[in-house]
């Protein structure tokens, strides 16, 4: 048997681990012997995926669920034998609210997926004035943009639906996902579907109606999935099971292993060997290198090899956020919000981006008699709150909960999770920068970048991008001889 080919993946978040899984799977399919190693600088696996279990409470410090419509998440769970652990959101009480005019208004049904299923509920919500509604309806008449240029989310949605619909409803939905500023975010990089709908149908409303009618009903015998799904005992189970499976397959998984520098040397015409310098001074060599680290880390690692790649990577900004989980005796908060939670538009000038009633969304995450609420703060232009210490931060968040939904009770559990430089921002020109990056790195065969910083921030996006990174590596190794 020939000597195994070497692959090192830097970063043990979902992107790095999913890449390792796909490398193993695709190498096995090709009969290619591989020695794969994953290096993680932290003392635990999973990156942004962190579940805390305290007594009967299950709280997520980072992501709490993932989109089921993007299949990569469900598919990975199936391959790992986790399908029976998948849970839907609670069918009862699945309303969501948005702050407007100092009080919470119910979001029109289906709007959370940007598809207003019943326009009547939009009319009844009281969120928009009659002129605002009429302006929104003009979308069916306004001609498509003749330009193919990238456009900001704010510009696109103001142009199609008017300022009111954008500022009161669409902006907070989008900002909640990216913790970003819609004035700077690229439509094509974040919500390309809307660009396509405009181009194809000349109207978002008409396009949505046409595509909703044609939408496939999903797998015939598969279980029905809610739009967002999670794992019964928390998303970190995905990480635990994935990492255990990788080790069973012979992948070396090393924690506390920070890569400080990458060097490159030629070993064949047009082929490179990558030397990784670790924090303790040790070095590792590999034919194939996947950087599944945040873009600013990859920038530092690649700058000495290619300053242009370093510069392009550095141009991907990251926003800092925090989540604050709080548990209350149910009797003290009953009636505050009868739904999954609320979102807060930027124009409201509040610190809160959103608050989720976790124990209603996923009932078994808190024991009966407890209400678990998760607040989300920070994001582009709203990061000042993160300078507060935990006591001040919690006091600020509680004051806003009190003002917005009347919760004055003392929580019996509080956990603050700070996420510094955590959410990549796909700003205007993001996609063309990625194209330049690909061109710049094309002279380094065997070197691939993956992770939330590039082609999607959601967990299924990261898993899918990891599989694409693995495909590049395997294709590259299959076409060359061992060093």
Ligand X SMILES: Cc1cc2nc3c(=O)[nH]c(=O)nc-3n(C[C@H](O)[C@H](O)[C@H](O)COP(=O)(O)OP(=O)(O)OC[C@H]3O[C@@H](n4cnc5c(N)ncnc54)[C@H](O)[C@@H]3O)c2cc1C
Nearer to ligand X, 72 or 107 (CB): 72
CB 69 within 8 A of CB 227: yes
Binding mask 265-304 for ligand X (x = CB under 6 A): ---------------------------xxx--x-------
Nearer to ligand X, 9 or 99 (CB): 9
The CB-of-316 to ligand X minimum distance in angstroms stands at: 12
C-alpha 224/C-alpha 392 separation (Å) is 43
Q: Which stretch binds ligand X (CB under 6 A): 34-42, 149-157, 237-245, 390-398?
A: 34-42
Least distance between ligand X and beta carbon 51 (Å)? 12
Task: Give the span between the Cα atoms of 259 and 261, in whole angstroms.
Answer: 6
CA–CA gap between residue 362 and residue 228 (Å, rounded): 11
From 24-32, 36-44, 328-336, 352-360, span contacting ligand X (CB under 6 A):
36-44
Near ligand X in 1-30, by CB under 6 A: 10-16
Q: How far is the CB of 421 from ligand X (least distance, A)?
A: 9
Find the shortest distance in angstroms from Cβ 262 to ligand X.
10
Residue carrying the six token digits 């619909």:
165
Least Å distance, CB 483 to ligand X, is 23
- Cα–Cα distances (Å) from 375 to 48, 58, 319, 324, 358, in that order, read 16, 15, 17, 5, 10
Residue closer to ligand X (CB basis): 182 or 452: 452
Residue 228 structure tokens: 């967002």
**Span of 302-310, 352-360, 408-416, 419-427 interacting with ligand X by CB under 6 A:** 419-427
113 secondary structure, DSSP code: G
The least distance separating ligand X from the CB of residue 177, rounded to whole angstroms, comes to: 8
Query: Hey, how many other C-beta atoms are within 10 angstroms of the C-beta on 336?
Result: 20
> In whole angstroms, how close is the CB of 181 to ligand X at the nearest point?
16
Residue with Cβ nearer ligand X (38 or 136): 38
Structure tokens at 197: 């709908």
Region 322-381 residues binding ligand X, contact defined as CB under 6 A: 323
Q: How far is the CB of 259 from ligand X (least distance, A)?
A: 4
Q: Does 310 interact with ligand X (rule: CB under 6 A)?
A: no
Minimal distance, residue 28 CB to ligand X, in Å? 23
Selected from 42, 75, 183, 438, the binder of ligand X by CB under 6 A is 42
- Of 75 and 201, the one with the shorter C-beta distance to ligand X is 75
* 34-39 vs 252-254, strand pairing mode: parallel
Residue 189 in contact with ligand X, rule: CB under 6 A: no
Q: Does 452 bind ligand X (CB under 6 A)?
A: yes
CA distance 282 to 448: 22
Neighbour-count burial of 366, counting CB atoms closer than 10 A to its CB (0-12 exposed, 13-18 middle, 19+ buried): buried
Of 448, 483, 458, nearest in space to 20 by CA? 448
Q: Give the span between the Cα atoms of 98 and 225, in whole angstroms.
A: 25
Binding status of residue 321 toward ligand X by CB under 6 A: yes
Out of 348, 401, 457, 467, the only residue in the binding site for ligand X (CB under 6 A) is 457
Going from the C-alpha of 357 to that of each of 1, 63, 95, 257, 331, the distances in angstroms are 56, 14, 11, 37, 15
Task: Tell me how far apart the alpha carbons of residues 393 and 24 are, in angstroms, rounded to a whole number.
Answer: 44
Cβ neighbours of residue 72 under 8 Å, at least 6 residues apart? 460, 461, 463, 464, 467
451 binds ligand X (CB under 6 A): yes
Q: CB count, 10 Å around CB of 117?
A: 14
Our finding on whether 237 is near ligand X (CB under 6 A) is no
Q: Which 56-115 positions form the footprint of ligand X (CB under 6 A)? A: 62-66
Tokens 């839907």 appear where? 88
Q: Say whether residue 39 binds ligand X (CB under 6 A).
A: yes
Closest contact distance (angstroms) between CB of 16 and ligand X is 6
Spell out the alpha helix ranges (H) of 303-451. Answer: 307-314, 358-361, 390-405, 430-441
Q: Which residues bind ligand X (CB under 6 A)?
A: 10-16, 39-42, 47-49, 62-66, 258-259, 292-294, 297, 321, 323, 419, 422-423, 451-452, 457-459, 462
């Amino acid at each position: 048997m020939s000597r195994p080919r070497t692959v090192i993946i830097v970063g043990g978040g979902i992107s790095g681990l999913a890449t390792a899984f796909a490398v193993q799977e695709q190498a096995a399919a090709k009969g290619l012997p591989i020695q794969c190693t994953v290096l993680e600088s932290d003392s635990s696996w999973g990156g942004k995926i962190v579940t805390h279990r305290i007594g009967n409470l299950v709280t997520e410090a980072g992501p709490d669920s993932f989109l089921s419509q993007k299949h990569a998440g469900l598919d990975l769970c199936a391959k790992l034998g986790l399908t029976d652990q998948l849970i839907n959101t609670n069918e009862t009480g699945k309303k969501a609210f948005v702050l407007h005019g100092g009080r919470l208004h119910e979001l029109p049904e289906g709007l959370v997926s940007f598809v207003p299923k019943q326009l009547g509920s939009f009319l009844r919500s009281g969120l928009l004035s009659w002129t605002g509604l009429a302006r929104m309806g003009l979308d069916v008449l306004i001609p498509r943009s003749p330009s193919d240029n990238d456009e900001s989310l704010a510009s696109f949605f103001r142009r199609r639906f008017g300022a009111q619909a954008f500022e009161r409803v669409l902006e907070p939905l989008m900002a909640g996902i990216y913790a970003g500023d819609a004035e700077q975010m690229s439509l094509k990089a974040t919500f390309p579907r809307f660009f396509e709908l405009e181009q194809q149908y000349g109207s978002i409303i008409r396009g949505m109606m046409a595509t909703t009618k044609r939408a496939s009903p999903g797998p015939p015998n598969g279980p029905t999935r809610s739009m967002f799904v999670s794992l019964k005992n928390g998303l970190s189970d995905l990480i635990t099971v994935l990492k255990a499976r990788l080790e069973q397959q012979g992948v070396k998984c090393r924690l506390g292993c920070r890569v400080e520098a990458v060097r490159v040397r030629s070993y064949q015409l047009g082929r490179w060997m990558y030397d990784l310098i670790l924090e303790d001074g040790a070095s590792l060599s590999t034919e194939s290198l996947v950087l599944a680290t945040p873009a600013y880390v990859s920038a530092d690692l690649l700058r000495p090899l290619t300053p242009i790649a370093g510069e392009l990577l550095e141009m991907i900004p990251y926003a800092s956020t925090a989540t604050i989980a709080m548990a209350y005796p149910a009797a003290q908060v009953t009636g505050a919000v009868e739904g999954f939670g609320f979102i807060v538009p930027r124009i409201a000038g509040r610190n809160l981006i959103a608050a989720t009633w976790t124990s209603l969304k996923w009932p078994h995450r808190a024991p009966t008699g407890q209400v678990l609420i998760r607040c989300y703060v920070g994001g582009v232009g709203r990061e000042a709150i993160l300078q507060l210490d935990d006591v001040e931060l919690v006091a600020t968040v509680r004051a806003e909960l009190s003002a917005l939904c009347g919760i004055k009770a003392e929580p019996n559990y509080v956990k603050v999770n700070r996420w510094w430089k955590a959410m990549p921002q796909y700003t205007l020109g993001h996609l063309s920068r990625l194209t330049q990056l690909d061109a710049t790195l094309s002279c380094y065969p065997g070197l691939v970048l993956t992770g939330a910083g590039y082609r999607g921030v959601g967990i299924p996006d990261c898993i899918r991008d990891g599989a694409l990174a693995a495909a590049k590596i395997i294709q590259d190794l299959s076409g060359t001889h061992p060093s």
